[in-house]
Structure 1
């Protein structure tokens, strides 16, 4: 019986460590990665910390032990101060005049043959055309000779005149203005368009923040050792700060209807998400269900987002987790004003 007691104490000690770290993680969105770059990395692990604490809570609950209150207390705090990891219910009201907006990191339409299926490129075009969005923002876009997206208006921005890689926004509605923020010293970027829908002008940002270059199929995620990986991630988060501040500065003067979507290369527990989501609605939180995982990796990472202004009504949110044509899943929302 004494041995059992020691095991229980050890389990509770481990439980206490994970509960404390989760509690501390709730302050991460308030600390710029430029101040303490290493702290920003832990924002990637918040979903895991939540799941571990849920596991400890269930463990102690089964044993009818008061230790269950520790993780429960931390999880309740997180429910009120942090974005939800899991949505248990969704709102779905489809109106004929909804604006159907999709965001999709298309991974260069499989240009480098990451997927074995040689018809992946055509299947992506087929998927987009069948879903028939009003607006689609694509990250890691590639100007392929086979390009076949059946939307009449578009704005494509590549890194140079000779480079075929970049970002794109396609629309059913006329694009009356467009531009690029031109991130410095980065392969990533953010572009925007002003779309005319009836009498409304809607600004759409397509965001692709600094990539962390995580390769789940390689040891140390593609780095020689964990120390180099840690340093690379920290440098990536610092770059994201400058990119986010540029986006915030650019959108400051825009007071109309607005959509910010794309691949943030970060989670909802990060500084960059908090800054971009401030005074905006996260369409997953408004109308989504489940984990909302958008990155094709066993770990539950929601790094693709569609945000909109507070006046918008979010009638639907969907993650196409059955579409495995890229390393990201497409996401879609229906909006109305």
Structure 2
């Protein structure tokens, strides 16, 4: 019996070391600005799962009063230092002032114009949701141009130029848009647009980002079928590489921005990736400031992922952050309330 227990512990420990190693490699990969070992880029999608497994292994060895728990403990410590908290504790929101800005980002999936939801009223429900929440500025990814007719509360808007054969994005604003533009992202249907918006005496540049999409429909067959699994693996690696190129293009652009900056959008990657780290730079993540729970904006194989973000310059104080549960698109909307430090 003792020998069998020893064999089981040996197998558990071997798996434990592997899982701890994966978490450490995830930490290291997130700091690289290139794909050193492509397969490690994929780990950013499952970091919460790897965290959870390491917690279980640490608990197992502590229960058995063995020092082997240190393998997972050290990996978890490194993970925390590298990624910070990824579960928001819901810091108390402050009282909202009339001068504060309510910002929403939402991948609306074309307002369901291709009928993915099988409900012909979904597009109108998305419009109704936006009207109900009434953000001052909303950045929409996968927009449908005709929907501006239903969003009359926004006198100003900027959209992906008609000349660009890309998925349409839009910035709707209650405040004047004085200039706008888009970044050149070759070889993709995704894109980044920006709008310079005057709010009181300040001009704020709002970036609306939609980074490279995976174009993989999650299913049991996705990574179990031999040939399809290989194709999807190559597609994932190619997508991460393209996202990193796009993140660097954005980073070069924002460094030359003459204004205060707010970055919204669907990054198609998690906060554990080097793509997120490049885009975020010195910006503040509103979820990390005021969010609660996992901040889920997308479900992948029932794993709650946070891939939609609102990032701000340090000149803004984050008053509140909210993740919605409205299942009207394949993404969930996000909203934050911001206050300029000059208005306190």
Unaligned runs of 5+ in 2: none
Change (3 A) 1:62 1:112: farther
- State the shift of 1:121 in Å: 0.3
Matches within 5 A, 1:28-39: 28-39=29-40
Paired position in structure 2 for 1:84: 85
SS in 2 for 1:204: strand
Match of residue 335 from structure 1:
338
Query: What is the Cα deviation at residue 147 of structure 1?
Result: 4.7
Which residue pairs with 1:54 in the alignment? 55
Q: In the alignment, which residue of structure 1 is the partner of 2:266?
A: 263
Matches within 5 A, 1:110-129: 110-129=112-131
1:236 aligns with 2:239: yes
Render the CA deviation track for 1:203-236: whole Å, top value 9, x for unaligned.
1000011111121246217995211111111111
TM-score, normalising length: structure 2: 0.91
> Which residue pairs with 1:206 in the alignment?
208
Cα deviation for residue 61 of structure 1 reads 4.0
Residues 91 and 286, structure 1, Cα contact 8 Å, conserved in 2: no
Q: Shift of residue 79 of structure 1? A: 1.4
Over residues 261-286 of structure 1, what are the superposed CA-to-partner deviations in whole Å (9 max), with x where a residue is unaligned?
Answer: 10001111111111111111011111
Q: Which residue pairs with 1:21 in the alignment? A: 22
Relative distance call for 1:157 and 1:81 in structure 2 (3 A) is same
Shift of 1:56: 2.1
| Structure 1 spans left out of the alignment, 5+ residues | none
- Answering whether residue 155 of structure 2 is matched by residue 152 of structure 1, we say yes
What is the aligned partner in structure 2 of residue 288 from structure 1?
291
Residues 166 and 188 in structure 2, CA contact (< 8 A), matched pair in contact too: no
Contact 1:33/1:237, CA 8 A, preserved across alignment:
no
Deviations 1:139-193 (A, max 9, x none): 11112368512322111115647x6941000011111111111321110000000
Q: How many residues align?
A: 335
* Residues 209 and 93 of structure 1: CA distance in aligned 2, closer, same or farther (over 3 Å): same
CA distance in 2, matches of 1:329, 1:286: 19
2:192 to 171, 190, 195: 190
- For 1:236 and 1:13, how far apart are their aligned partners in 2? 32
- What is the root-mean-square deviation of aligned Cα atoms in Å? 2.2
Partner of residue 111, structure 2? 109
Stretch deviating more after TM superposition (6-15 or 137-146): 137-146
Quick check: 118-127 or 21-30, which moved more?
A: 21-30
SS at 2:22 equivalent: helix
> SS of the residue aligned with 2:249?
helix
Q: Show the counterpart of 2:249.
A: 246
- Stretch moving more, 275-284 or 163-172: 163-172
* Distance in 1 between residues matched to 2:280 and 2:223, nearest whole Å: 28
Decide whether aligned partners of structure 1 residues 110 and 311 sit closer, same or farther in structure 2, where only a CA change above 3 A counts.
Answer: same
Q: For the Cα contact (< 8 Å) 2:29–2:274, is it kept in 1?
A: yes
Asked if 1:215 is matched to 2:213, the reply is no
1:39 Cα deviation from its structure 2 partner:
3.0
How far apart, CA to CA, are the structure 1 residues paired with 2:287 and 2:82? 17
User: Is 1:311 the counterpart of 2:315 in the alignment?
Assistant: yes
Deviations 1:294-322 (A, max 9, x none): 113311211111111122111111110x2
Q: In the superposition, relative to structure 1, how do residues 280 and 121 fare at CA in structure 2: closer, same or farther (>3 Å)?
A: same
3-state secondary structure, aligned to 2:262: strand
Equivalent residue, structure 2, for 1:172: 174
